Chain A
């Protein structure tokens, strides 16, 4: 414009100035409502905040830059997923056992992304500080993106394989899916500060690396370019979320010394809750990746013992100690994957993914990776079960297991330092007895029993008759509670779960790919082509 023709162009703002204007600069002081009426929950937990402006967001990411980079991530990801779908990438993974891990993912993990979206929406509403509200708002959008990209990617697998088409229904009903569901619902029903310490710090900063870095790298190694792409695309947001986690901790600790014991209590609790939840990844890494990148115990050493060690050394200056139950996690690292796989195998008729016993090749790998535990405690068990399968009398549980009142896992873990004794704990509350899987879960129950007595434990509910579809008559002469409970959960017995060998997934895989459904066991069906040269085949026939 002519009148302004001689004006110098405005000086370009530095990143820090730009960030300040586009975060703090967007806030305002309320004039006709009282602050405490707007931000209703921030005093509920006893946390003291004196100055919200002391909040530092190290990523200095403003909304305009956020949309730009998120848009770029989405374009990259959808291009890869499109290519994967057009080229029938679902048939290029190692074998059909790998696909069973994706069933665990879509049924048990994707819903947590959506729950996380809801949780961060609440924070974006409830925090008085503008910096953390904007960070929570971005994270809320990120988590919604994670849920949708995972659903979209895995939908391609769901067209060809069983057990992935009822995930929202199953998440609310399947007995073992109450483990992830109860974890997040526990967090989201806490106050805002406990939620952010639980999810941003204990879960995302301390624990998720260990699951998503080696597991997603394993997905790539097994040829699943779609899953590794959504996994690492989500992790690129996660790196920002982790930074929010560590900033939150520093902010709370610096604001008031009275916050230190509260934060320590939440770290102890949520480290244990998160560890129990993520142990599911231990089985996914050690048992469900046909080609493996790293064993669970190695991942625990790198991502908890080494990196968690560095983190807690850094936090020591605030008076924060490593999580109370960290020693138990180190003691269990050679056992947890094997114990979980055993329980899933024994209950395979009641799970929504298929099970198998580890092959000779896999057991040799486990002996090497777990020299102190596998041959002594777990190999004999698998060899016994293999012999039973061979004899036509396979072992199976026909009842459902005792669940922990807090983490909702079956009480399947053993005492630290005594892998032949099951770890069982109990507490009394108002004349009733409640059962826990470990000291870590008992600590949590005993601190807030009034919350955990409300836990909806699926096994209890099934046995109380609360998990049947309408119209089912438990007094009918042919009533079978297990069959009816599975119908209620949306699990098709012998289709979604059960034995891998002979399953629809294994049979279809061989029919569609001409490759073995289990790379270690050779062909199950005639559909697998003999890929030896005609001369070799001729020689073999002649011999």
Chain B
């Protein structure tokens, strides 16, 4: 991978370069208070783009997998039905995507474009997407109490899956190209060759950063093993389930959740459109079948489901990517404090009992 150096004052020129190339650039901004969000860059808001800020709760996942997405239109006339797919193929760049969310997109790639069927809608969003990753290096602004990318091995500096990565070195930034498209940007005079000292500085900053994470659920990999082997007591799942209010918030903020539901809605007298909408396995209707039978009735079955799907080794192996990228959003939004780090912790605390259980059954 090629790296270059640029002046701090020139960083947003990367946004300009991309816009000149015809990209719709989305970047992070401050709203009111803690609120932050990704929005389309215009001439008016360009200077308000933030390099360091708390990662928005609403993940940039929506640029490849929109919250609500039109799939097709049905039109009825003279007894005929016309079905027309609705495609959107934007040329878009995400500037300032965090390493965790980048790993999220990689997981979505594996999921929607791998296996038996490819998802053409996802592919269309993904095809012309340019990803500018910003390394979370500002301990106060970038790294929240809930962040645990150090445990999922997805951050704070992504190793892969970006077109361009930017890292703040102080008065200068280091730019690393991850793809030929990213490298092509280096033709611009804002970029210059770096020196060994720059690389040393990068390492020094990263070494220090890794120590600054508050949530270090070092038990993550052990949890994967326990979940995979089905070693977690029903009681522990119940305890977790009892704290779930079934709001679905955890899934809506998750950059790696993939589930959706499909529904048809009228758009004219003889016209309908079929849309897909994010869905959540926390909600009780998720598995209910026509006629009322619901195999997953109890709320702890559904909680269990979320963590099983994210942590069981079988799925990690299948997608070659884990469905949790350590962003900590679910921990930040959950009313019952059963975000991923807490669940890992609850499982850790319960293992004493698991061991007792095992000893008793042997």
Do A and B bind?
no
